[in-house]
C-alpha cells in the first residue's frame, strides 16, 4: 500500500526565475522524508520577493524540481499571511485547500508556531474537525522566544500587538498539542515545555549532518597536539548575527577574555542585521584584529572544515530554540560552551562535551573559557567527549526515527475505526 505524508510547515518557499525552492538543508530533509513515504505533500507559505532577496544573503537556495525525488513531491504554495489583513483575506480559501489535502493524504504532520498567519495551525484545527489523527512537530517554543525578544523590541506598536496576542497563541498551540496523536519536539527545550501536554511526547532532532561529516581521528589528534603545545585558543560561532543569538554579548565576552590576557583568535561565520554593529563594537573595544568575520558560507563542506579547525564553540543563545549549529559543532569535535538551557544539555547528556553557564552571565561564561585555556588537558578531554557526542547525530538516523514515530502513532486515513482500536489494543 502506498503511503502519503502531508507536511504543513512555516518554512517558506522562495520563487527564483519561476521555480519554487527552499534552503539547501530543508531540501535535504525532503529527500529523507521520501525515503520513508511514497509521496510527500508539502504545504508552506511563499515568501514575498523582498524578503526572499534578504534571505538569500544568509541561506543557500535549491530548486525543488532538481531533487532526485521531485516526481514524488507535491508542492502546495500558500499565501504569506502573517499580516492580519492578509490572513483574514485568504483564510477561507486556504482552509478549504488544506481540508482537501488532509482528506487526500494518509499521514499528517503539522508544525504550528503562532496564531495569526500560521497555516499549520489552521491545518491542525481542520484535522480536528475532520476527526483525523495527526503528528505535532515543534522546533522551538515560539511564544517564549517572542516574549523574551520583546524586551529588546523598539516598536511600541509591535510590543502592544505581541503582548495582546501571545496568551492566545500559547493557548492555541497547547490545544493543538493536546489534540495531536504524537508530539515530535526537537531538543530538550521543546520537549520540556510541551511534553506534559502531549499524550505521546518524543524528543527528536532535525539535523542535516552526515556520518561522513564526523571529524576524523587524524584531524582530531592534530588539534589536540596543537593545544598541548600552548598555541592560541581558537573560538568560533556559526549562525545569524541577531539578538536571539546574543551576537553583541559574544563580542563583549571576547573582549573580556582579551583583557584577562588570554592568547586567542575568534571567528564568527554568518550574516545578520547586527553584523555591522558587531564589527563596530569590536573596533571600539580594540579587538578587531582578534576576530574574523567570515560572513555567510554557502558551501557546507567549507563551513565544517573551518569548524573542525577550532577549539571551542562559544554561544550566547538567549531563547528556547534548538539550533543545528550546536550539533554541527559536536560533529566537528568542538565542545559547546555557552548559556545554559535544556537543549544543549540534552545534546551532551550521554557522552559529555559541553559546559554551560547562567543565561546572559557574560562573566561566568568568560570564566569557563579562561579555565579551559589554563587547563589544556581538561579542554582536550572535553574535545574528545564532544566528538563522541557528535557520533549520535546524523540525518539518516534522525529522519528514520521521526518517520517511524509518525507511522507508529498517527492513524492513517485508510484504516477503519475498528482496525485502529484493534491496533492500539
3-class SS of residue 78: strand
108-140 CB burial, b ≥16 within 10 A, e <16: bbbbbbbbbbbbbbbbbbbbeeeebbbbbbbbb
- Give residue 257's pLDDT band: very low, low, confident or very high (50, 70, 90): very high
Report the Cα 353 to chain-centroid distance in Å.
20
Mean pLDDT (the chain) is 91
Residue 301, all three cell numbers: 563542506
What would the mean pLDDT of 351-369 be, rounded to a whole number?
97
- 415 pLDDT band (50/70/90 cuts)? low
Instruction: Average the pLDDT over 122-128 and give the result.
Output: 97
Asked if residue 142 has pLDDT above 90, the reply is: no
Given this chain, do its domains 4-207+395-424 and 211-390 carry the same CATH topology? yes
Taking the complete model, does pTM exceed 0.75, yes or no?
Answer: yes
Of 261, 291, 286, 263, whose CA–CA distance to 275 is shortest? 291
Q: Is there a contact between 303 and 322 (Cβ–Cβ < 8 Å)?
A: no
Contact 312, 337 (CB under 8 A): yes
Residue 353: which region, alpha, beta or left (left: phi > 0; alpha: psi -120 to 50)?
Answer: left
Domain chopping of the chain, boundaries: 4-207+395-424, 211-390
Tell me how far apart the alpha carbons of residues 273 and 154 are, in angstroms, rounded to a whole number.
15
Which residues, 6+ apart, have CB-to-CB distance to 39 below 8 Å?
2, 3, 4, 5, 72, 73, 74, 105
Q: Write out 2-47 in H/E/C secondary structure.
A: CCEEEEECCCCEEEECCEEEECHHHHHHHHHHHCCCCEEEEEEEEC
Mean pLDDT of 346-352: 95
Q: What are residue 28's phi and psi, to 5 degrees?
A: -60, -40
What is the average per-residue pLDDT within 39-64? 85
Model pLDDT for residues 371-410, shown as the tens digit of each residue: 999 999 999 999 999 999 999 998 888 999 999 999 999 9
Is the pLDDT reported for residue 419 higher than 50? no
Task: Tell me how far apart the alpha carbons of residues 133 and 166 are, in angstroms, rounded to a whole number.
Answer: 27
| Interval 71-96 mean pLDDT | 94
Determine the pLDDT at residue 417.
Answer: 43
Neighbouring residues of 66: CB distance < 8 A, sequence distance ≥ 6? none
Query: What 3-state DSSP class applies to 349?
Result: coil
pLDDT at 423 (0 to 100): 42
| Weakest-pLDDT range from 26-35, 147-156, 214-223 | 147-156
Distance of CA 313 to the CA centre of its chain: 17
The size of the chain, in residues, is 425
Report pLDDT for 424: 41
CATH node for 211-390: 3.40.50.2000
Write the CATH number of the domain with boundaries 4-207+395-424: 3.40.50.2000
Please tell me the predicted confidence (pLDDT) of residue 161.
79
Model confidence at 249: pLDDT above 60: yes
Q: Which is more confident, 89 or 156?
A: 89
pLDDT over 90 for what percent of the chain?
A: 74
Per residue in 282-323, pLDDT tens? Answer: 999 999 999 999 998 888 889 999 999 999 999 999 988 888
| Structure confidence at residue 421 (pLDDT) | 44
pLDDT of residue 57: 65
The model's pLDDT over 162-188, given as tens digits with 9 standing for 90+, comes to: 888 888 889 999 999 999 999 999 988
With a CB cutoff of 8 Å and minimum separation 6, the contacts of 285 are 251, 252, 255
The angle that helices 395-409 and 24-34 make with each other, rounded to 10 degrees, is 50
Q: Are 255 and 287 in contact (CB under 8 A)?
A: yes
Lowest mean pLDDT among 14-23, 30-39, 125-134: 14-23
Rounded CA separation 126/52 (Å):
29
pLDDT at 414 exceeding the cut of 80: no
Is the per-residue pLDDT at 132 higher than 90?
A: yes
The pLDDT of 76-105, averaged and rounded, is 94
Is the pLDDT confidence value at 425 over 50? no
Mean pLDDT of 263-280: 96
Amino acid at each position: 500500500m502506498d503511503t502519503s505524508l502531508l507536511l504543513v510547515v512555516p518554512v517558506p518557499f522562495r520563487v527564483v526565475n519561476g521555480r519554487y525552492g527552499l534552503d539547501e538543508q530543508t531540501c535535504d530533509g525532503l529527500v529523507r522524508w521520501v525515503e520513508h513515504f511514497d509521496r510527500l505533500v508539502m504545504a508552506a507559505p511563499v515568501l514575498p520577493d523582498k524578503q526572499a532577496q534578504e534571505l538569500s544573503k544568509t541561506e543557500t537556495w535549491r530548486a525543488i524540481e532538481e531533487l532526485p525525488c521531485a516526481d514524488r513531491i507535491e508542492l502546495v504554495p500558500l499565501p504569506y499571511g502573517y499580516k492580519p489583513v492578509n490572513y483574514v483575506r485568504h483564510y477561507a480559501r486556504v482552509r478549504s485547500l488544506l481540508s482537501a489535502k488532509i482528506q487526500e493524504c494518509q499521514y499528517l504532520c503539522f508544525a504550528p508556531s503562532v496564531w495569526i498567519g500560521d497555516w499549520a495551525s489552521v491545518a491542525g484545527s481542520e484535522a480536528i474537525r475532520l476527526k483525523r489523527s495527526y503528528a505535532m512537530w515543534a522546533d522551538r517554543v515560539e511564544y517564549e522566544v517572542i516574549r523574551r525578544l520583546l524586551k529588546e523590541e523598539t516598536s511600541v506598536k509591535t510590543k502592544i500587538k505581541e503582548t495582546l496576542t501571545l496568551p492566545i497563541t500559547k493557548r492555541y498551540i497547547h490545544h493543538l498539542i493536546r489534540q495531536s496523536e504524537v508530539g515530535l519536539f526537537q531538543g530538550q527545550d521543546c520537549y520540556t515545555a510541551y511534553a506534559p501536554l502531549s499524550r505521546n511526547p518524543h524528543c527528536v532532532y532535525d539535523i542535516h549532518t552526515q556520518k561522513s561529516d564526523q571529524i576524523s581521528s587524524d584531524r582530531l589528534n592534530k588539534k589536540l597536539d596543537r593545544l598541548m603545545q600552548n598555541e592560541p585558543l581558537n573560538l568560533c560561532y556559526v549562525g545569524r548575527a541577531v539578538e536571539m543569538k546574543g551576537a553583541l554579548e559574544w563580542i563583549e565576552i571576547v573582549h573580556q577574555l582579551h583583557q584577562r590576557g588570554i592568547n586567542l583568535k575568534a571567528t564568527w561565520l554568518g550574516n545578520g542585521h547586527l553584523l555591522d554593529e558587531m564589527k563596530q563594537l569590536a573596533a571600539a573595544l580594540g579587538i578587531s584584529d582578534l576576530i574574523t568575520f567570515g560572513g555567510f558560507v554557502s558551501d557546507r563542506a567549507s563551513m565544517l572544515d573551518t569548524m573542525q579547525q577550532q577549539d571551542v564553540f562559544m554561544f550566547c543563545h538567549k531563547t528556547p530554540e534548538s539550533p543545528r549549529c550546536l550539533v554541527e559543532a559536536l560533529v566537528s569535535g568542538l565542545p559547546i560552551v555557552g548559556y545554559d538551557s535544556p537543549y544543549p544539555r540534552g545534546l551532551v547528556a550521554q557522552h559529555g562535551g559541553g559546559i554551560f553557564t547562567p543565561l546572559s552571565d557574560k562573566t561566568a561564561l568568560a570564566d569557563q573559557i579562561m579555565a579551559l585555556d589554563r587547563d589544556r588537558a581538561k579542554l582536550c578531554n572535553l574535545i574528545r567527549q564532544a566528538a563522541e557526542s557528535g557520533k549520535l547525530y546524523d540525518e539518516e538516523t534522525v529522519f528514520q526515527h521521526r518517520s517511524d514515530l509518525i507511522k507508529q502513532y498517527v492513524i492513517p486515513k485508510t484504516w477503519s475505526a475498528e482496525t485502529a482500536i484493534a491496533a492500539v489494543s
